[in-house]
Structure 1
Amino acid sequence: MARDKQKPEARPIETSPGEMATRYEHPAYGVVQVSRSSGNSRLFGSSLKHQHTIRLSIHRACLDRHLSSDFIHARDNRGLVEIEMSQTQWAQVVSSVGLGSGTPVTLRQVPDEEASVKVTPDIEEPDETADRQHARELREKTEQALAEAKERIAELEALANTSGSIPKKPFREAVRKAKFAVGNAPENVAFVHDRFTETMEDAKEAAKTEIEGHIHALTLQTGLEHLREEGARLLEDHRQGGEDDPDE
């Protein structure tokens, strides 16, 4: 059964005085946080008391688009679920993907048992790809830099056209602002370009990791199937060998 799709909701937020960002929220957005804990814990599936443990928690998340970068973080401190494990259990969780019936863990924070389970909608494809988003941001940053430079030049022209002597203090201030606007323009545009390059490199590495994981899973599955076939053949050979042996 196909799930419904929903676009992330976007709204402007102020990250600092004069600095704005776009915050995206979606019911399917989440983050996993893993931390170390110290104490004297009794854990499910272990006969020992553990001084050092691993805690894993899942939170609802949001994405802030700011400075041509994505900043993902938990929406609040109220986690949806939190579990605690020994370091051995944590190693089993990481190394036994798809194997066995599960690793025992100790539940520390869970929803109420009477709460209904809600299926979240799928995340709808964004209106623009990452490269188009960066291209738009690069164009906007360039236009902003040019507009600011033109504004400073207009201030200098206004002072130059003043009748009589030009006031030194306003003139120096206008020159300072013009130098600042022109001097920062290349750095601001280069910053967006660098973020684009980093994003594309991250995407390439993520795709490489996904491909390697898929190959590893296929290799593991192929190996298990080969072991099953080889085991059945060895058992059959053993049976045939036993039938051929003369009775003592």
Structure 2
Amino acid sequence: MSDKNHPSYGILSFSRSSISGNGVALFGSSIRHNDTIRLSISKGEIDRHGNESRYYAKHSLSDKYIEVEMSYSQFAEAITSLNMGEGVPVTVMRVNGQQMPPCPYEDKQKLMRQEFKNLAKSVTADMTSHTKEVAELLQNKKTLNNADKEFILSALHSAAAKISDHMPYINEMFAEQMEKTVTEAKGEFENFLQNKMNSIALEAIAEKQKEALSERYSELLPAAETINIPPTDMPYEQEEEENQDMGMGGMSLG
């Protein structure tokens, strides 16, 4: 038999996790989540008993190599996109039993708006600076040479490029992020609804099984009206006196 414990033995497991309140932030996700998938890899051991090998995970925190959390969409992407890209973002919860700091939440909509605002400020500042330089040039020079003309054209082209190139790109990225956020929120709601429906269905099945078992075994028991108690011929007082006589060893004191 091989070793019961060996450094190469490991157990991988997936589990569902529900978080109350405002949910939890996940790396690579633009919303907070109340329902997640948790993956853990722990030290494993083998037990040979009754001609059968059984595999167990060691459950102490020090025996857990890594534990990560992901959204349902991240989990689906991870198992359906093998050998594609750099991989799928996950949130590391524990490493070798050590708890990691919580993942910070970043509002992607707020971030995109701020980036668009910063770009608008940059374009405005450049245009203001170039306008001032061109105005000074026109005021101080009655005749513009080729270098002056090239400077003015360059300033105008630079402002136009930032407006025509950067603005549409930022707007496109913002639209893609909004679509991704909506998809994540929709998936989160669908997962919550599915879990709730499964819970209700399991409760209904358990109740139906309980009713079916009750009806089945109630048929095996005789009805109350069919149970006949044989009547007694002696009056109640006489029966009580005889019981007292028996309680005294069958001897009458009278």
Whether the TM-score (by the shorter chain) exceeds 0.5 is no
**More strand per residue:** 1
TM range (shorter): 0.3 to 0.5
Q: Which has the larger radius of gyration?
A: 2
- Normalised by the length of structure 1, the TM-score is 0.44
- Normalised by the length of structure 2, the TM-score is 0.43
**More helix per residue:** 2
